[in-house]
Amino acid sequence: MSAEIIEIFPSNLDERKLHRIVDCLKNGGIIIYPTDTVYSMGCDINNVKAVEKLCKIKGIKPLQNNFSIVCHDLSNISIYAKVSNNAFRLMKRAFPGPFTFILPATGELPKILQTKRKTIGIRIPNHQIPLKIIEMLGNPIITTSVKHDIDDIIEYPNEIEVIYQQNSEKVDIIIDGGWCGIEPSTVVLAVDDDFEVIREGVGDLNEFL
């Protein structure tokens, strides 16, 4: 069955459509959604079967996943990650924004997301669609990039027609939230207070240090 495309305008959120997306997530569905960087693929972090399905789509074993999670705000991050005072102050300045902070994971992180690295990436994008979905769902969702690898050329598609062509048989819902960027988030290693940018992306960490 092909994915359903749901058009939502960030400036005028349609709660009826959002409820349909949240119901899909609660029932183990996989969605593609816009962020402040690129379109992403994800599911409810608490639905084990959905996480397993997402791993299969990405061609990885669950214990090898490098998924990050998208939170609504900073209030519940400490449930899933250990956050030092310095890291919290930095994230408070940088979020919502185009960053992924890699933090030590807590034991409350769902077991299927616990890897040997014992870390978890945290995102709070500056985009109303995923933030509203997470608020309505009541817990974070997974984020992993929607990209197509051909001959070592990594493309981050931002046109819904292309995204649909590549993923219509893999996911349940594709949210058309308009144009997204083609550059991913900046990834910051924050397991201690020596913050290190391990992937340059849209965000400039120097603005917040």
Tell me phi and psi for residue 148, to 5 degrees: -125, 115
Q: Which residue has the tokens 């009826």?
A: 16
pTM of whole model > 0.85? yes
Alpha carbon distance 97, 126 (integer Å): 5
Condensed to tens digits (0 to 9), the pLDDT of residues 9-35 reads 999 999 999 999 999 999 999 999 999
Condensed to tens digits (0 to 9), the pLDDT of residues 145-169 reads 887 655 455 668 889 999 999 999 9
* Residues 143 and 69 sit within 8 Å (Cβ to Cβ): yes
Fold of domain 4-207: DHBP synthase (3.90.870)
Q: Amino acid identity, residue 2?
A: S
| Domain assignments of the chain as residue spans, ordered by start | 4-207
